[in-house]
Amino acid sequence: MAKSRTGEVAARARPWLPAVAVALAAGLGAVGGSYLSVGRRPAFVVEPFDRLVLLLSPDALVAVAITQLGTLGHQLAFLTAIAVTCTVFGLAALPGAAFLLGRGPAPGALSRGGSALLGVILGTVPPAIVAYGLTRSQPSTLGVAAGAGFVLLATAGASALLAGERRSLGSPARRRVLGAVGSAIGVSGLALFVQGTGEEPFPSPLEIPEDARPEVRELLTRAKDQSFGVEGLEPLVSTDFYEVDIGNVDPDVDPEEWSLSITGAVAEEREYDFADLEGMTLEDRFATLRCVGDQLNGRQMDTALWSGVPVRQLLEAAEPAGDRVILHGADGYYNEFPIDALWPGLLAYRMNGRPLPRAHGAPVRALVPGHWGEINVKWLTEIEVRDEDTMGYWEHRGWHGTGPVNTVAKLWQTRSLGSGRYEVAGHAYAGTRGIEAVEVSTDEGDTWVEAELSEPLPGDDVWRQWRHEYGAGGWHKVIVRARDGDGNLQIPEEDGPRPDGATGWVSETVGPQ
Ligand SMILES: Nc1nc2c(c(=O)[nH]1)N[C@H]1C(S)=C(S)[C@@H](COP(=O)(O)O)O[C@H]1N2
Ligand SMILES: [Mo]
């Protein structure tokens, strides 16, 4: 008795609560419907909010999220964007939800079916309008309408459907909320089941595509043959390529609609389309990329065989009259650096014998030899020549990652071979300086032995593998360091990635087991 009275009081005090809950569920249904329809593409309704979250996040927070949290920071930002999107669509669906919960016109004015239908329409049309306004995408808008509509239909039907159920399901309002939440979870679950995480798989470069050009086939075969057969060690062409993006939803640029303009301080501004590039001489190049945010022994360092057009051809035609350049990407990313670095660059539109994947900048990305990953702009749309310095995206956020890479030897694989013998191996990269040697110490740095190096691949911006086998008995520390092609030893002073790349020598404790 007392219990139900408290319930009534609560219901009267918060009469809007069930309506708000149903509206939020409709918002989740809308987001799920959009994802079911278009997947993790720019038409997904969360995309604009993801941008907004990024835009509103203080620079310092973005920096902390990237350095301290890594991909977790990204995921938190994405979850925030999803929550914001659900709330916005929930607000749009609120009139319909309120109507269905009996907060609309006096009951009896319409038949039961008619009033349910009106509620569903009231809660579906506004989200659909918002979706179309945000995305201009019909499939995404239809997904939103279907998702929100389904949840509201379930809300309307729940009361009747669950009427025969146990009394614990409670009042009609409660049953409606349960119907709404259940169906929203159902739509989202289905969307996740159908679309997965939306990340496209990275085809293995070890399986050379049937239609690969003979040059590409030869180079990829060579990389395979020259790779050490060390168990668990990545081959010379990465089988998994790291990704670093400012956004959580990659641009989806149709090559037919893509164009690249060369603007700013040039004798003549130019514009190229994809067919123009395809008509130019193709160059195949191995190139390693490493993110300035990569930890000393991290994995944000990879190599691929890229094919594309040397930037030189296009720059010569435009006749730059400035010594700086800004590369712009379709995701709003931009980076600024000395134009001298760009001259030997490549406009890549193929990777490992296949069209450049969307995740890596399709249809065209820049590759700038020997420099940190961040100036290798993906989804490239504009090359803007400047005659004065400005700051790029990451410089505004406290990084200094537009220069040449630091030298590093990674220790990625350690193995006990039994009887006190060990094998250690990894990759070493020093940009265009090249790797001359990798040295290993197993006695706290007193003595150093040169490791075996993989045969160099053609190209002057590509890593090498190293490996070393030795006897050391029990537990001990292994330290590795590289020497670049100019004879410089990798910097020993330890420092984290921010702001201009990690330094120090990688060390691991290795033992029998
Ligand atoms: N348009 C665009 N280009 C970009 C980025 C980005 O977020 N947007 N990230 C940069 C960074 S920080 C790095 S390290 C490399 C990563 O390239 P990958 O994702 O192909 O490995 O791309 C660079 N190019
Ligand atoms: Mo990066």
Q: How many CB atoms lie within 10 A of CB 232?
A: 9
- Write the CA distances from 444 to 33, 352, 508, integer angstroms: 58, 40, 11
C-alpha span between 205 and 370 (Å, rounded)? 22
Beta-carbon contacts of residue 168 (< 8 Å; ≥ 6 apart): none
Beta-carbon contacts of residue 201 (< 8 Å; ≥ 6 apart): none
Per-residue pLDDT of the chain (513 residues; tens, 9 = 90+): 344 444 444 445 466 899 999 999 999 999 999 999 999 999 999 999 999 988 888 776 776 666 566 677 778 889 999 999 999 999 999 999 999 987 555 445 566 778 889 999 999 999 999 999 999 999 999 999 999 999 999 998 886 665 555 555 567 788 899 999 999 999 999 999 999 988 888 999 999 999 999 999 999 999 999 999 999 999 999 999 999 998 899 999 999 999 999 999 999 999 999 999 999 999 999 999 999 999 999 999 999 999 999 999 999 999 999 999 999 999 999 999 999 999 999 999 999 999 999 999 999 999 999 999 999 999 999 999 999 999 999 998 889 999 999 999 999 999 999 999 999 999 999 999 999 999 999 999 999 999 999 999 999 999 999 999 999 989 999 999 999 999 999 999 999 998 999 999 999 999 997
Task: Give the strand order in the sheet containing 449-450.
Answer: 449-450, 435-441, 476-484, 506-510
Nearest ligand to the CA of 377 is: 1
CB of 378 within 6 A of ligand 1: the answer is yes
**Quick one: what percent of the chain has pLDDT higher than 70?**
91
Mapped onto helix, strand or coil, the DSSP state of residue 287 is strand
Chain CA centroid to CA 30, Å: 24
> What per-residue confidence (pLDDT) applies to 113?
75
C-alpha span between 356 and 309 (Å, rounded)? 13
> What per-residue confidence (pLDDT) applies to 200?
86
> What per-residue confidence (pLDDT) applies to 174?
86
Helix 112-135 crosses helix 71-98 at what angle (to 10 degrees)? 140
By alpha-carbon position, which residue is closest to atom 2 of ligand 1? 378
Instruction: Calculate Rg over the CA atoms of the chain.
Output: 29
CB of 159 within 6 A of ligand 1: the answer is no
Residue from 291, 305, 334 to probe ligand 1 pocket by mutation (most atoms less than 8 Å from CB): 291
Query: Ligand 1, closest atom to CA 330?
Result: 1
Domains belonging to the chain, first-starting first, are 12-195 (no CATH), 214-397 (3.90.420.10), 408-510 (2.60.40.650)
By alpha-carbon position, which residue is closest to atom 23 of ligand 1? 374
- Write the CA distances from 261 to 287, 315, 340, 358, 393, integer angstroms: 24, 11, 19, 20, 20
Beta-carbon contacts of residue 135 (< 8 Å; ≥ 6 apart): 34, 42, 43, 44, 45, 47, 48, 141
> What per-residue confidence (pLDDT) applies to 470?
97
By alpha-carbon position, which residue is closest to atom 21 of ligand 1? 243
> What per-residue confidence (pLDDT) applies to 282?
96
Distance 184 CA to ligand 2 centre (A): 37
* Residue 94 near residue 15 (C-beta atoms within 8 A): no
Nearest ligand to the CA of 242 is: 1
Q: Which residue has the tokens 């004065």?
A: 388
Query: Ligand 1, closest atom to CA 243?
Result: 19
Task: Give the strand order in the sheet containing 259-264.
Answer: 270-273, 259-264, 380-386, 324-329, 334-338
String of DSSP letters for 57-108: S-HHHHHHIIIIITHHHHHHHHHHHHHHHHHHHHHHHHHHHHIIIIISSPTT
Q: What is the DSSP letter of 165?
A: S
Distance 371 CA to ligand 1 centre (A): 12
Strands 259-264 and 380-386: parallel
Q: Which of 154, 34, 18 is nearest to 88 (CA)?
A: 34
- Write the CA distances from 137 to 38, 130, 361, integer angstroms: 9, 11, 22
Omega into 310 within 30° of 0, i.e. cis?
no
CB of 374 within 6 A of ligand 1: the answer is yes
- Write the CA distances from 244 to 322, 354, 360, integer angstroms: 29, 21, 9
C-alpha span between 465 and 16 (Å, rounded)? 64
Distance 142 CA to ligand 2 centre (A): 36
